[in-house]
């Protein structure tokens, strides 16, 4: 169990308790099982960014607060210098860096995502959540799956999709790929 998972799990539990919801009711609102929520709250497993996003959107707490325990402070602009985005290593295959973590009231969440290559036996991690997403491939090649459709993106290619559909990505050619990903925040 990582320290980061434990800290985020404690904040998730705090949100649930603030809304006076039992674990089953909170899990139902997130479309997960009570057992999954318990593992997230205890920090026993990696917490998918889609769950953090859904908690943020549905329970009036910023992703910044869930991830760092601090409130976003900037309201006119926010600069994030190269390599200084808040890291969110939620799954082995993806490394997320939040690029607007300190801007309060944002309507989108931009991330720099590194997608590591997988072995042939590993399946693509699929997820879904409210909102929409824009992905711009900075370098490398990757396969993107949205619902039952597959496409390959290369540097300079982009895709925009409804993220309520199941989606995932996989780096190709045995090399990492880097993406600029923008996720809308549900209202």
Please name the residue that has the structure tokens 């943020």.
56
Q: Which pLDDT belongs to residue 87?
A: 67
- Looking at domain 86-184, does it have CATH number 2.60.120.10? yes
Q: Looking at residues 62-74, what average pLDDT do you find?
A: 79
Which residues 6+ apart lie within 8 Å of 60 measured at CB? Answer: none
Q: Looking at residues 161-172, what average pLDDT do you find?
A: 93
Q: Looking at residues 108-132, what average pLDDT do you find?
A: 85
Contact 53, 163 (CB under 8 A): no
Does 96 have pLDDT greater than 70?
A: yes
Model confidence at 138, pLDDT cuts 50, 70, 90, reads very high
Structure pTM? 0.72
Q: Which pLDDT belongs to residue 148?
A: 93
Return the closest-CA partner of residue 89 out of 98, 100, 81, 80.
98
Model confidence at 16, pLDDT cuts 50, 70, 90, reads very high
Q: Where in the chain is the domain with CATH 1.10.260.40?
A: 3-68
Radius of gyration of the chain measured on its C-alpha atoms: 16
The backbone torsions φ and ψ at residue 113, rounded to the nearest 5 degrees and listed phi first, read -120, 130
Higher pLDDT, 163 or 187: 163
Q: Which pLDDT belongs to residue 89?
A: 53
Higher pLDDT, 88 or 61: 61
- Tokens at residue 139, please? 């370098």
Q: Looking at residues 102-129, what average pLDDT do you find?
A: 84
Q: How many other CB atoms sit within 10 Å of the CB of residue 26? A: 23
Model confidence at 43, pLDDT cuts 50, 70, 90, reads confident
Secondary structure (3-state) at 143: strand
Higher pLDDT, 34 or 56: 34
Lowest mean pLDDT among 9-18, 54-63, 70-79: 70-79
Distance CA(92)–CA(155), nearest Å, equals: 22
- Tokens at residue 50, please? 């889609």
Distance CA(44)–CA(140), nearest Å, equals: 32
Secondary structure (3-state) at 61: coil
CATH homologous superfamily for 3-68? Answer: lambda repressor-like DNA-binding domains (1.10.260.40)
- Tokens at residue 175, please? 């090399």
Looking at the chain, the number of H-run helices and the number of E-run strands are 5, 9
The backbone torsions φ and ψ at residue 152, rounded to the nearest 5 degrees and listed phi first, read -110, 130
């Amino acid at each position: 169990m990582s320290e980061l998972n434990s800290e985020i799990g404690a904040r998730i539990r705090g949100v649930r308790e603030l809304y006076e919801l039992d674990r089953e009711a909170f899990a139902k609102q997130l479309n997960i099982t009570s057992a999954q929520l318990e593992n997230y709250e205890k920090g026993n497993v990696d917490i998918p960014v889609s769950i953090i996003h859904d908690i943020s959107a549905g329970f009036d707490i910023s992703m910044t607060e869930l991830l760092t325990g601090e409130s976003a402070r900037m309201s006119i602009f926010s600069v994030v210098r190269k390599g200084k985005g808040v890291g969110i290593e939620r799954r082995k295959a993806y490394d997320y860096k939040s690029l607007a973590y300190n801007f309060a009231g944002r309507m989108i969440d931009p991330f720099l995502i590194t997608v590591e290559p997988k072995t042939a036996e590993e399946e693509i991690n699929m997820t879904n959540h409210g909102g929409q997403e824009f992905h711009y491939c900075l370098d490398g090649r990757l396969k993107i799956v949205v619902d039952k459709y597959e496409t390959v993106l290369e540097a300079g290619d982009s895709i925009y999709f409804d993220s309520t559909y199941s989606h995932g990505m996989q780096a190709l050619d045995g090399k990492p790929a880097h993406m600029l990903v923008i996720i809308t925040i549900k209202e």
